Amino acid sequence: MTRIADLPAHSPENRPTPQTAPPPDSGKKVRFAALREREFRIYLIASALAMMGDNIEHVISYWVLFDRFHSPALGGFAILSHWLPFLFFSVYFGALADRYDPRRIMQIAMLMFMGVSLAWGLLLLTGTLELWHAAVLLMIHGMAGVLWGPGSQLLIHHLVGHEHLQSAVRLNSTSRTLGLLFGPAVGGGLMLILSPAVGLLVNAVVYVPLLFWLWKAPYTHPKREAQPARTAGMWETLSLLKKTPHGGTIVSMILLAGVTSFFVGSGVQPQMPEFANDLGAGEADMRYSVLLAASAAGAVIGGLLLESRGLLPANPRSAIVLAILWCMVMAGFAVSTSYPLSLALMLVAGFLNLTYGAMAQTLVQVHAPPALRGRLIGLYNLSANGLRAFSGITIGVLGGLIGIHWSLALSAMALLAACIALLAFAMRVR
């Protein structure tokens, strides 16, 4: 069966080298370019369902943790167990995706997600859930998320090729954001209609479409005549990166992902109740829910708008300039005293966040040498996701001392300075 139009370009004989790889979406403004590939369309739907399942489990399990244990420390552990695995294991799991079939690695991750949902449900049904059970399940769930990432990014690269990679990354990010939007609503509905235990058991089924599709998904593992050093650590990867012709671009995009995650990252979401309260919306008010979802809604709207016009092709300076604009928007949100203005700023922030993030990821994948692509994706995930754990310090802990408005504003300004320095670096890189 003929797979996709660009299959010959991905065969070992015809695969472009890093020096001659074409730029993503070069020149042509093609609407929803990646959706031209049938297999990518299937993957996008199945992946969105899996992401929704991931968020359904978060919604129900976090409620169960609060209801059963009333432990703030366990709530903090839930956040750390989600992000710290990205910090410690992203590069190693990226190396696994380089060496082994990413489809099988993704299937292992799906089985881990399913197993965790089933275990939560059975422990709740039998009334045997204990604190250590919860801690173990949270850690397994976090590890599954890290394992899933590099394999999925390598697979979509294979499905659409270099030319439409930015479109695929942007659409994939948009579908994941849709999962973030619908996951809480579906999870809350399952709790109300079926109970938390049964809801978690049902949630395990949500991962089945992606698990099943991966069995026969088109993929030809590249044959590499010269394998890099078998070590897969971060420092070894960085030393190999120095020898690549586009190392400066890759480094600048990895650093961009890292500084934005470290200074702001996910630190705003846990503080949103206080921001909403200061803007005149109660914690349970509809205005709070709308404000909480505004960033995700902005990302979805922005992703669809950009794809419908084929706009903003990836390049390093554009990515950094968009991140600079994001810093300014977040600083504006920190000092805003108007609910309508704050809502508008969060919508714009979501759009900018998706746009510069998709650009950065695309540039890393396109310019990475094939033999290092998985581990460089892992290094990008380490920066983009693992460093989010520290945004709880830059905004949350610091906010406890000086107030969250000041902590967010200062973090955004520190990030702005870092982004300007990165822009100067990127302008020197050819």
Residue 185, domain CATH: 1.20.1250.20
Same domain, 55 and 196: yes
On whether both 138 and 287 belong to a single domain, the answer is: no
Query: Does residue 418 belong to any structural domain of this protein?
Result: yes
- Quick check: 176 and 50 in contact, CB under 8 A? no
Taken in order 211, 214, 215, 216, the sign of the CA dihedral is positive
Q: What mean pLDDT do residues 112-132 have?
A: 93
CA-angle at 160, arms to 302 and 353, nearest 5°: 25
∠ CA 50-385-144 to the nearest 5 degrees? 40
> What is the span of the domain harbouring residue 56?
33-216
Q: Does residue 319 lie in a domain region?
A: yes
Do 196 and 337 fall within a single domain?
no
Q: What is the pLDDT of residues 13-57, one digit of tens each?
A: 344 433 434 444 444 566 778 888 889 999 999 999 999 999 888
pLDDT tens digits, one per residue of 359-403:
888 888 888 888 778 888 888 888 888 888 788 788 877 887 888
Is the pLDDT reported for residue 207 higher than 90? Answer: yes
pLDDT at residue 309, rounded to an integer: 74
* Residue 237 confidence class, pLDDT cut points 50, 70, 90: low
For residues 227 and 371, what is the distance between their CA atoms, to the nearest angstrom?
7
Q: How far is Cα 270 from Cα 358, in angstroms, rounded to an integer?
A: 24
Residue 1 domain-assigned (yes or no): no
pLDDT(218) > 50: yes
Mean pLDDT of the chain: 81
- Distance (Å, rounded) from C-alpha 78 to C-alpha 262? 18
Secondary structure of 222-277 in HEC code, one letter for each residue: CCCCCCCCCCCCHHHHHHHHCCCCCHHHHHHHHHHHHHHHHHCCCCCHHHHHHHHH
Q: How far apart are CA 384 and CA 382, in angstroms?
A: 6
Residue 145 lies in a domain: yes
The string of DSSP letters for 94-114 reads HHHHHHS-HHHHHHHHHHHHH
The tally of domains found in the chain comes to: 2
Q: Tell whether the model's pLDDT for residue 220 goes beyond 60.
A: yes
More confident residue, 320 or 286: 320
Whether residue 327 is predicted with pLDDT greater than 90 in this model: the reply is yes
Residues 313 and 269 in one domain: yes
Q: What is the 3-state secondary structure (H, E, C) of 10-66?
A: HCCCCCCCCCCCCCCCCCCCCCCHHHHCHHHHHHHHHHHHHHHHHHHHHHHHHHHHH
Residues 180 and 315 in one domain: no
pTM reported for the whole predicted model = 0.77
**Does residue 272 share a domain with residue 167?**
no
**204 and 241 housed in the same domain:** no
Q: For 105-112, what is the mean pLDDT?
A: 95
In a domain, 225, yes or no: no
- 11: pLDDT confidence band, cut at 50, 70 and 90? very low
- Does residue 328 register a pLDDT over 90? yes
Residues 281 and 427 in one domain: yes
Are residues 357 and 409 located together in one domain of the fold?
A: yes
Give percent above pLDDT 70 in the chain: 84
Query: Is 182:59 a contact under the CB 8 Å cutoff?
Result: no
Residues 162/25, Cβ–Cβ less than 8 Å: no
Q: What is the pLDDT of residues 174-191, one digit of tens each?
A: 888 887 778 877 888 888
Same domain, 191 and 102: yes
Do residue 40 and residue 80 come from a single domain?
yes
Residues 199 and 280 in one domain: no
Stretch 221-245: mean pLDDT, rounded?
Answer: 57
